[in-house]
Amino acid sequence: MKFAVVVFPGSNCDHDAYYAVKHVLGQDAAFVWHKDTSLAGADVVILPGGFAHGDYLRTGAIARFSPIMQAVRRFADVGGPVLGICNGFQVLLEAGLLPGAMLRNRSVKFQCEHVFVRVEQTDTPFSTACRQGQVLKIPIAHGEGNYYAEPAVVERLEQNRQVIFRYTTAAGAATPDANPNGSVNNIAGLCSEARNVVGLMPHPERACELAIGSADGLVVLESAVKSVTRGAFAAAG
């Protein structure tokens, strides 16, 4: 199966995602330039981290108008699995593929550290290989990861079980202290109503080998392989 890793001007985790998919997971992977209009037959699309278009105006605000985003939207509309990591999550929010927006971190600092996230739901293409309640040690690196949505929207997200990852302690408790950026309800990642589009601020692709501190993120990418292999969330890119 094939992963497409979208490259915007300013993406800087595109190679991390490519490496994790290609060399750790052993899957086919291809970079797709933001001005391309086709996803080149990919089974899974990753919008990587970084600073697309310099984060000018707002994070993700310019990237959502890149030509490739029309193909990503079509792919998502027909059920294709799309994963937005960090800046990729911010792009999905600006594009309206996921609800809500990002504010500056509560600390007003760029937070770069390992955090713990708890897997809340396993019925998405990026969590299906996880155990519900599993706690993953994954790094974050962002200045604007303070997830916000109106209270009614947050309530709907919770009711629909769209919160997929939540910041917790190592023991899995969603406390205020375990929340690195001020996100409402400790939300670290969520999915679309159709559950095939997932965005998260932590970087699973940077936690795929013990040599670099944690391999806990691998299960997120393995989920995509498992999901596509068994035919769930399949679409032709």
Q: How far is CA 205 from the centre of its chain?
A: 10
Count of residues that interact with other proteins, criterion CB under 8 A: 19
Catalytic residue among 191, 205, 208, 222: 205
* Selected binder of other proteins within 104, 137, 161, 226 (CB under 8 A): 104
Tokens of 220: 């997120």
* Rounded Cα distance, 97 and 193, in Å: 10
DSSP-based three-state secondary structure for 6:
strand
For the bound state, the minimum distance from the C-beta of residue 149 to other proteins, rounded and expressed in Å, comes to 7
Longest alpha-carbon distance in the chain: 44
Query: Do residues 5 and 29 touch, judged by C-beta distance below 8 A?
Result: yes
Binding mask 165-204 for other proteins (x = CB under 8 A): -----------------x----------------------
Q: Closer CB to other proteins, residue 2 or residue 104?
A: 104
Residue from the set 94, 120, 216, 222 that interacts with other proteins by CB under 8 A: 94
Which of helix, strand or coil describes residue 55? helix
Find the binder of other proteins among 1, 24, 30, 61 (CB under 8 A). 61
DSSP state of 24: I
Within 133-172, the residues that bind other proteins by CB under 8 A are 146, 148-150
Residue 193 designated active-site: no
DSSP E strands in the chain: the ranges are 2-7, 28-33, 44-47, 82-85, 101-103, 111-119, 135-142, 146-148, 163-168, 187-191, 197-200
Alpha helices in 48-179 (DSSP H): 68-77, 87-94, 151-159
Of the candidate spans 24-32, 36-44, 106-114, 190-198, the one that interacts with other proteins by CB under 8 A turns out to be 106-114
Q: Which residue in the block uniquely carries the two structure tokens 């490519």? A: 18
Among 3-11, 33-41, 56-64, 199-207, the segment contacting other proteins (CB under 8 A): 56-64
Cβ atoms 121, 211 nearer than 8 A: no
- Min dist CB 156 to other proteins, Å, is 14
How many other C-beta atoms lie within 10 A of the C-beta of residue 184?
18
* Distance in Å, CB of 98 to other proteins, minimum: 11
55 interacts with other proteins by CB under 8 A: no
Nearer residue to other proteins within complex by CB, 38 or 107: 107
Active site residues: 86, 203, 205
